[in-house]
Amino acid sequence: MKKLATYGIKPHDAEVKADGQKWSLMEKLLLGLTLDQYLDQLKRNKFNWLLALIFAIGIPVIIYRFIFGLGVVTHASYDYPWGLFLGFGLFCMVPLSASGFMLGTTVEIFGRHDFEPIERLALLNGLLGYFFAVVYLLVDLGQPWRLIYPMFVSWGPAAVLFLVGWHVATYLSVQVMEVSTAFFEWIGFPRGYEFIRKGTVGLTVSGIILSTLHQGALGALFTYAPGKVHPLWYSSSFQWIHYFTSSIPAGLCMVISVSTIVILTMKWRCDDRFINNLDRITLSLAKGAAMGLITYLFIKLLAVAHDNEWAYIATGWGAWWLFEMLAGVLLPMFLLAVGIHNKNVLLCRIGAFVTVFGILLNRLNTALITFNWQLYQEIPHMWEIVISITIFAIYVATYRFILNRLPILYQYKAQAVEEGVAVEAEQKAAVNA
Amino acid sequence: MVRAGRQLITGLGVLLLSAVLAVGCFAMDDFPDEVEIDSLANLYDGVVFDHAMHVDMTENCADCHHHTTGTGVVDEYCAKCHDGAEDGDTVACQDCHSANPVSPENFHSTPEAYSYHDDKPNLKAAYHLNCVGCHQDVGGPTGCEDCHAKTDAGEKYYHSGEYAPKQDPHQAAHH
Amino acid sequence: MSKISRRKFLAGSVAGGAAVMMTPAKKALAAGSFEGFPDGMGVLVDFTRCVGCRTCEAACNKEQNLPAPAKPFDDYSVFDEIHHGQPRRPTSKAYTVVNRYETKEEGPVFRKIQCNHCNEPACLTSCFVNAYTKTPEGAVIYNSKVCVGCRNCMIACPFHIPGYTYESVINPVIKKCIFCYDTRLKEGRPPACVESCPQQVMTFGKRAELMNIAHERMRKNPEKYVDHIYGEKEVGGTGWFYISGVPFEELGFDTHLPKEPIINNVKDFLAVVPMVLAIWPALFTGFHLLATKGKSHGHGDDHSHGEEGH
């Protein structure tokens, strides 16, 4: 894509081209390239080959699962009813997607418009994370076509999962609306954009409510299994707080991680506003993440003290717990703190990646690794792993597809302009909006 | 199972009735040498119970018949009332143990007065608990088919013998 | 430059909030103190009587029209089967299993496992489509018509009971002991396993009455039983409960389960739900008004970034 310039093409970033012509939908989709040029650059990118390989193996396996049932791609375990699809797909993707509501809150509620350059990336990260969590869920459900049953057919309102279902569904619509502003700009439908913008505060506030509750609810789901989750990962009083609190650094660090990948691999798509503000924003987000991690660590210890589980730390599971705490919480906290102190963006970025790892570890530990600690451990079925990787690859491909097109990393302008008059164009864009 | 269960109960009822008719009129030293229990022939064939041999082996009729035969009771709990050792009106199991597994009288035989007789095993259990319990203690046979052979219906019920699952090679692990 | 009027702003919050309020979280708090239906039936299981004949397994198989077993029901080699270091457990093809445990005091002791029909079942409270019902007769039954297949009930069940027909493509469902509700319990008859048992290991009756009988048996024979009725208090009490001559740990029972219903563990969270629903909207719109006082609310305005500091 860096070679876009070699085709003599300026990336699509405005409703009207520099020569006064409007972009057609096809041009927008193909990034202004011809179909041949577009396919050429697709083939040139090694990462696409990796994706193609994953799809070639994984998509048939997904089809296989829907033709022959869950039993052929999982261990069909009665003791581990939830495998990787939920353990990774739901319990990991959702906290990593908490970015949407956090940046939404920061910008829209607290009026911190200095975070605006990254707000849309955070919102998109949230939307896609949730959307693909639902995709994982659809693969995992025995009867996915009944997904709407808890909404319309039969209510079980005392169940935590009922809350999760409703909230994820509602929040997904909220996020679709939030991100739709970027889509309306891109497609050229300013009235849709205007309509959604008017409800922004309402949408954002409901986003906070829904997020607080369902991030917590995912943790509360495990309070149904007091004998099954290891005591160090279980707390009937604090489980939901653990999940909610850790979703804050999770979401923020996911944004830092994604923005790092973006700035390294698709800088052409980022406008100056994004590029010039990113270091500053990364440090600010890192600050938030570090605060979140400290709070999280504190409540984790509080829970152990509250249930008096110190004795467990001396066991093998305790060593594993200590590893999670050290590598997944303390280490990133340290990296972020040093990074913030020295204004070292690289260190903050490494810290963010480690935080994401720590969250993955925590969720997998609760849902799979320490689950049934008194029975036996189970390594997920090979096809289960393949399907999980495949869906993640589809997630990455979708993410990139959208970032390449919609005004997420750049601001949409009314008319493309030559270099040097960008400020004027930005003002025009504002008027247009 | 519904039908099988009912047949079982009916079978037991008929069996007991005949056993009572046979046994009830005998005096202390006037018992049958052999009781053929063959009306049970549903899942299992009948049992020929060697009564004489069991009489020889035990010291006291009360080992099986509680206090109803007039001999001194073994269980001190029963002795609280039945130490007088008078003959009961009957010695038949079924007069006290209901063939109906959920008969309310299993819980409360006679309202209020007889709280000691609450929680009586049903008839089938009374037999098995008595026989198997003692057999376990004295080393008598305890396997199901040590006492009664399985019928065709029984093999079907247990998926054994002719009806054993094909793929499993060692289906002959009967007792 | 879209400056939102107060009215529009409120409408926006209400619309957003309404979507949230749709979620009926209140009812959740009603659950939790339920002690079981007064006349609910139960089963007292006395392990001192069980001889491991597996007749109950055969009876269940026939009554519930379950698939033919892998081994005959009089094949006792199943007692030596170990999967993942565990003895057999109920599955979608066998709602009840009998296992043998080697104990210090008594040698081999047999234990029958099936759904315990909890007074306040975790499966029921965890189900988001309300597929489970605790009937007044005492059975915990399941409606496969509404089941989505999330398998949260399998996570929640403290006794590892529900099985799932993973092999089914079109209609995978939960399979577990239903106390022979449809065919027997509804008419007041005992489940097939209870009726089939030659030793009356299981006594069927009103739970409250059976509990007295259990206490009475233990009182009369204190040397025969350990002083514990498993299921009297565990997870809020279970419809099927157990007395034994050996400590329950030795029979593979989880003796660390809480005495109160599983749902009580979830209550800390459920209590938060209405509070968040009630407080958050006002709190955060308040924050918004404070934080943006005198400033524009709009987006896409030409903000000069970074000037607000941090």
pLDDT for res A249: 95
pLDDT band at A4 (very low <50, low <70, confident <90, very high): low
- Regarding beta strands A413-415 and A14-16, do their DSSP bridges make them parallel or antiparallel, or are they unpaired? parallel
> Residues A159, A160, A161, A162: what is their CA dihedral angle, to the nearest 10 degrees?
60
Taking 90 as the threshold, does the pLDDT of residue B111 lie above it? no
Tell me the per-residue pLDDT of A149-162, one tens digit each, with 9 for 90 and over.
988 888 888 889 99
Look up tokens 């049934």; give the residue. Answer: A372
CB C42 within 8 A of CB C241: yes
Q: C93 and chain A: CB distance < 8 Å anywhere? A: no
How far out from the chain centre does Cα B90 lie? 16
Tell me, yes or no, whether chains B and C touch by having 3 or more C-beta pairs under 8 A.
yes
Residue C210 has pLDDT above 70, yes or no: yes
pLDDT at C307 over 50: no
Q: What is the pTM of this model?
A: 0.86
Long-range contacts from B112-120, C-beta under 8 angstroms, 24+ separation: B116/B77, B116/B78, B116/B80, B116/B81, B118/C213, B118/C216, B119/C203, B119/C213, B119/C216, B119/C217, B120/B96
Neighbouring residues of A43: CB distance < 8 A, sequence distance ≥ 6: none
Q: Is A35 within a domain?
A: no
Measured between beta carbons, which residues in chain A are less than 8 angstroms from residue C19?
170, 173-174, 206
| pLDDT (tens digit per residue) in C259-291 | 999 998 888 888 888 888 888 888 888 888 888
Is residue A227 in a domain?
A: yes
A124 in a structural domain = yes
Q: Which of A161, A234, A238, A156 lies closest to C268 in space, CA to CA?
A: A238
Inter-residue contact B50 to B34 (CB < 8 Å): yes
**Average pLDDT, whole number, for chain A?**
89
Domain containing A155: what range? 45-432
Q: Say if residue B156's pLDDT is above 50.
A: yes
Distance, in Å, from the CA atom of B117 to the CA atom of B113, rounded to the nearest integer, reads 9
Determine, yes or no, domain membership for A400. Answer: yes
Is residue A341 over pLDDT 90?
A: yes
Q: Do chains B and A touch (3 or more CB pairs under 8 A)?
A: no
Please, are residues B12 and B99 in contact by the beta-carbon 8 Å criterion? yes
Token pair for residue A74? 């999982």
Task: Give chain A positions within 8 Å (CB) of C302.
Answer: 426-427, 430
pLDDT at A3: 59
pLDDT digits (tens, 9 = 90+) for A191-240: 888 888 888 888 888 888 888 888 999 999 999 998 899 999 998 889 99
Per this entry, what is the length of chain B? 175
| Identity of residue C192 | A
d(CA A70, CA A136): 13
Q: Taking a C-beta distance cutoff of 8 angstroms, is the pair C45, C242 a contact? A: yes
CB A150 within 8 A of CB A95: no
Cα A352 to Cα A356: distance, rounded to the nearest angstrom: 6
* CB proximity C184 to B under 8 Å: yes
| Whether the predicted pLDDT of B26 surpasses 50 | no
- Domain assignment of residue A30, yes or no: no
Task: Please list, in sequence order, all residues whose beta carbon lies within 8 angstroms of the beta carbon of residue A218, skipping any fewer than 6 positions away.
Answer: A90, A91, A94, A95, A164, A243
Of residues C131, C155, C297, nearest to A81 (C-beta): C155
Tell me what the mean pLDDT of segment A376-405 comes to.
94
Rounded-to-integer distance, Cα A137 and Cα B33, Å: 71
Which of C66, C165, C173, C176 has its CA nearest to residue C121? Answer: C176
pLDDT single digits (tens) A98-109: 998 899 888 888
**Residue of C226, C230, C236, C221 whose CA lies nearest to C252:** C230
Q: Are the C-beta atoms of C183 and C60 separated by less than 8 Å? A: no
Please provide the average confidence, as pLDDT, over all residues in chain C: 84
Instruction: Indicate which CATH number applies to the domain containing A337.
Output: 1.20.1630.10
Task: Provide the chain C residues 37-76 that lie in CB contact (below 8 A) with chain B.
Answer: 49, 51, 53-55, 58-59, 61-63, 68-76
Q: Which amino acid is at A361?
A: L
Find the CB nearest C122 among A224, A375, A433: A224
Instruction: State how far the Cα of C59 lies from the Cα of B101, in Å rounded to an integer.
Output: 15
CA atoms within 13 A on the CB side of A364: 17
For residue A117, pLDDT over 80 is answered with yes
In chain A, the number of structural domains is 1
CB of C70 within 8 Å of a chain A CB? The answer is: no
CB neighbour list of residue B28: distance below 8 Å, 6 or more residues apart: B61, B69, B70, B71, B87
pLDDT in tens, A351-384: 999 999 999 999 999 999 999 998 888 899 999 9
Structure tokens at B50: 């060697």
Dist CA A325 CA A88 (whole Å) = 19
User: What would the pLDDT profile of A236-286 be if each residue is shown by its tens digit?
Assistant: 889 999 999 999 999 999 999 999 999 999 888 898 999 999 999 999 999
**Tokens linked to A421:** 């008059």
Is it the case that residue C253 has pLDDT exceeding 80?
Answer: yes
Per-residue pLDDT at B157 = 93
The pLDDT of residue A417: 57
Cβ contact (<8 Å) for B107 and C213?
yes
Q: Which domains are present in chain C?
A: 6-30+265-291 (no CATH), 41-260 (3.30.70.20)
Strands B47-49 and C41-46: unpaired
A contact chains, 3+ CB pairs < 8 A: C
B64 contacts B130 by C-beta, under 8 angstroms: yes
pLDDT score recorded for residue C14: 39
Kindly give, in sequence order, each residue whose CB lies less than 8 Å from that of residue A246, ignoring residues fewer than 6 positions away: A95, A292, A296, A359, A362
pLDDT score for B110:
56
pLDDT of C140-197, one tens digit each?
Answer: 999 999 999 999 999 999 999 999 999 999 999 999 999 999 999 999 899 999 999 9
B37-78 pLDDT tens trace: 665 557 888 788 888 888 888 878 888 888 887 777 777 777
Out of A160, A201, A207, closest to residue C9 by CB: A201
Q: Is the pLDDT of residue C202 over 90?
A: yes
- The full DSSP string for C229-253 is -BTTSGGG-BSEEEE-SS-GGGGT-
pLDDT at C47: 96
Instruction: Quote the pLDDT of residue B9.
Output: 47
- Residue A384 within a domain: yes
What letter represents residue C51's amino acid?
V
- Cβ of B159 within 8 Å of Cβ of C51? The answer is no
Q: Is the pLDDT of residue B167 over 70?
A: no
Q: In this predicted structure, what is the pLDDT of residue A42? A: 87
Domains and CATH numbers, chain B: 2-151 (3.90.10.10)
Q: Report in angstroms the alpha-carbon separations of A247 from A214, A232, A288, A354.
A: 11, 19, 12, 14
CB spacing of B170 vs C75 below 8 angstroms: yes
Is A328 part of a structural domain of the chain? yes
Decide if A289 is inside a domain: yes
What are the pLDDT digits (tens) for A34-54?
Answer: 888 888 888 888 899 999 999
Q: Identify any residues that bridge with C202 across adjacent strands, giving them in sequence order.
A: C45
Higher pLDDT, C52 or B85: C52
- Answer for the pair B144, C74: CB distance below 8 angstroms, yes or no: yes
What is each CA distance from C86 to A79, A227, C101, in whole angstroms?
Answer: 11, 16, 11
Is A69's CB within 8 Å of C169's CB?
A: yes
Q: Cα separations (Å) of A77 from A86, A390, B134?
A: 14, 22, 43
Interface pTM, i.e. ipTM: 0.88
Chain C residues with CB inside 8 Å of B124's CB? Answer: 198, 200
> Of all residues in chain B, what percent carry a pLDDT higher than 90?
4
pLDDT score recorded for residue A415: 66
Best C137, C200, C202 residue to mutate vs chain B (most B CBs within 10 Å): C200
Residues C34-88 have pLDDT tens digits of 556 778 999 999 999 999 999 999 999 999 999 999 999 999 999 999 988 899 9
Most confident region among A99-113, B78-92, C25-39 by mean pLDDT: A99-113
Asked whether the beta carbons of residue C12 and residue A199 sit closer than 8 angstroms, the reply is yes
Lowest mean pLDDT among A54-68, A69-83, C288-302: C288-302
Is the per-residue pLDDT at A131 higher than 90?
Answer: yes
